[in-house]
Structure 1
Amino acid sequence: MSDSGGRAISIIGFIGSVFSPWYAWSGRRRPQNHVCINVATYGPGGRFTMTDRGQAALRQSRETLTVGPSSMRWQGGRLIIEINELAAPPLPGRVRGTVTVTPSALTGVEATLTPDGTHIWRPFAPTSAIRVDLESPGWQWDGHGYFDANFGTRALEQDFSYWTWGRFPLAGGSTCFYDATRLDGSALSLGVHFDADGRAEEIALPPKTRFRRSNWAVKRETRADAGTTPRQVQSMLDAPFYSRAAVRTVINGEETTGVHEALDLRRFRSPLLKPVLACRVPRRSGWTFGPEIRPGQG
């Protein structure tokens, strides 16, 4: 999110693109054959890109994830993301540039989201500075952000019916909340505060508080001090089964604006939704990398 407000960016690298209809239709047997670097920009001139690519487009090393024309690499204590993607309708166009994420510290936290460990959350850097430099007017800015990851051995809809997640910057660090309803009826409720040095502490949870549904009527709730009603201050992504938004709330007496997500997996499970998603998530199975230029060449 930009320091000046009004602009934000989300970048997700997928190996096994969990929201891709093409991956679902394939039976989810080969995650490396459904890879993606999903980029969404929010604010004036915002775009959405989510191209499902085949295994030929995937390259991995200890420090780098490359998917077709875009890549993420860990270098000098920073995550450097090079973007070169085509946006989906209704606002097509090229999204190209560099985003740099600089953590204040890295954490070793690993949270198991199901009793049998089929889903794991790794908040690598909940408190980070970001610099955005895209080839588009107004899309050069500094702000605050985070870097985390989710890993799973089963589809989300096989284990959950609903979940919400939120990350809120607070004095001296960030606080994250995970609340979910599993298919067996059990609940996940997790709150963790991370200080600027990466130390993590599980916290007593403020009350769970509902706020206005999304434009697609997705139920939304997050944690907030008693007597506080969270509210959306910027819509980011609004889909029939998913909402991402900048939400203002109060935690431990401190007003804060953070990123909130709500996911209705009962809706996502519907086979009627997949053809609709295919309009926003194109499939490009082929890819050829150009010749690698080594030091001293060309």
Structure 2
Amino acid sequence: MFSPYYKASGRGDPIDHSSLNVALYGPQHRWVMTERPSANVARDPSNLTIGASQVRWDGNALEIEIEERDTRLFNPVHRRVRGTVRVIPEALNPTSFALDPAQNHIWHCMAPRARIEVTMVQPDLSWSGQGYFDHNRGREPLESGFNTWHWSRAHMKEGAVVCYEGERGDGSLFASAIRFDRHGIPAEADLPAIAHLPRSKWQVERRTRSEIGVAEVRRTWEDTPFYARSQLASKLYGEEVVAIQESLDMRRFASPAVQFMLPFRMPRKAL
């Protein structure tokens, strides 16, 4: 949905603008988001192949085989990024949520809680921990439906909580908190107080929800002209939590300046 090539094409065949996004943070930072045409894409109900990378669902886990090269600004050397990520859901949620009255934008959190196992070969590193798995789909461009978007997700002692809010394209506001129990069953929850966060270095407005109206930005992983991804410490429903938070400004995304810059971070392969 962030592809400048897809936007420039008039948004015809989305399969002709496919990519696997890989972001590794830390001393061995890697960034991958290379777009490929439909000739390099194959799919069936349980498998997706994009270039040399593959995503498979075996009935119990989502396995992602990564075979890519990274992108670095002002550096022509593209380092190999190779490894395997397994996402093992602790519970599966069958319910989708409409994000607008016309149901043009649908969010589905398939695994509100999951375990992950990461084994990278290049760079050489591995770990295991907590994970999450969701997806969005829509019948119109995201920038048509929304001006701004703030989202966060935290694991609880039992289950998980997702908070999202923002401004739709027509100027109306929306906000929800969804709690998932240990079986993955969702339920609307009372919205905690707004916690304003410092703007990112690119001056993207950020906010989240916290029981005490205060949250701390522990680190910011992605800081771009239209998007920021951060780790927070806050309090939700009586628990001290560590949350993943994202803020998105679709008005900035649609600007000519950002559309000009995106191909430097998101190259496209002819084959």
TM-score w.r.t. length of structure 2: 0.96
- What one-letter code is carried by the residue in structure 2 that aligns with 1:151? R
2:66 to 83, 91, 107: 83
Query: 8 Å contact 1:55–1:285 — kept in the other structure?
Result: no
Counterpart residue number, 2:92: 106
1:269 to 254, 258, 261: 254
Structure 1 residue 139: Cα displacement: 2.2
| SS of alignment partner, residue 260 of structure 1 | strand
1:164 to 150, 156, 159: 150
| SS of alignment partner, residue 279 of structure 1 | helix
| SS of alignment partner, residue 140 of structure 2 | coil
Counterpart residue number, 1:154: 140
Number of matched residues? 268
Query: 8 Å contact 1:56–1:285 — kept in the other structure?
Result: no
Distance 1:166 1:29, change over 3 A: same
| Cα distance in structure 1, aligned partners of 2:207 and 2:66 | 32
2:56 to 70, 73, 92: 73
Structure 1 residue 200: Cα displacement: 1.3
Query: 8 Å contact 2:82–2:123 — kept in the other structure?
Result: no
Q: Which runs of 4+ in 1 moved over 6 A?
A: none
Structure 1 residue 48: Cα displacement: 0.7
| Cα distance in structure 2, aligned partners of 1:32 and 1:114 | 25
Write out aligned runs for 1:50-199 (5 A): 50-90=33-73, 92-136=78-122, 139-199=125-185
| Cα distance in structure 2, aligned partners of 1:195 and 1:89 | 41
| Cα distance in structure 2, aligned partners of 1:136 and 1:67 | 19
- What one-letter code is carried by the residue in structure 2 that aligns with 1:273? V
Structure 1 residue 22: Cα displacement: 1.1
- What one-letter code is carried by the residue in structure 1 that aligns with 2:102? D
Identity rate, percent:
39
Counterpart residue number, 2:224: 239
Matched, 1:282 2:267: yes
CA RMSD, aligned part only?
1.3
Matched, 1:254 2:239: yes
Structure 1 residue 137: Cα displacement: 5.5
Per-residue deviation, residues 8-36 of structure 1 (Å, max 9, x unmatched): xxxxxxxxxx1111111111111111011
Per-residue deviation, residues 241-273 of structure 1 (Å, max 9, x unmatched): 000111111112211112110001111110121
Structure 1 residue 169: Cα displacement: 0.8
| Cα distance in structure 2, aligned partners of 1:137 and 1:182 | 40
1:46 to 20, 29, 40: 29
- What one-letter code is carried by the residue in structure 2 that aligns with 1:117? Q
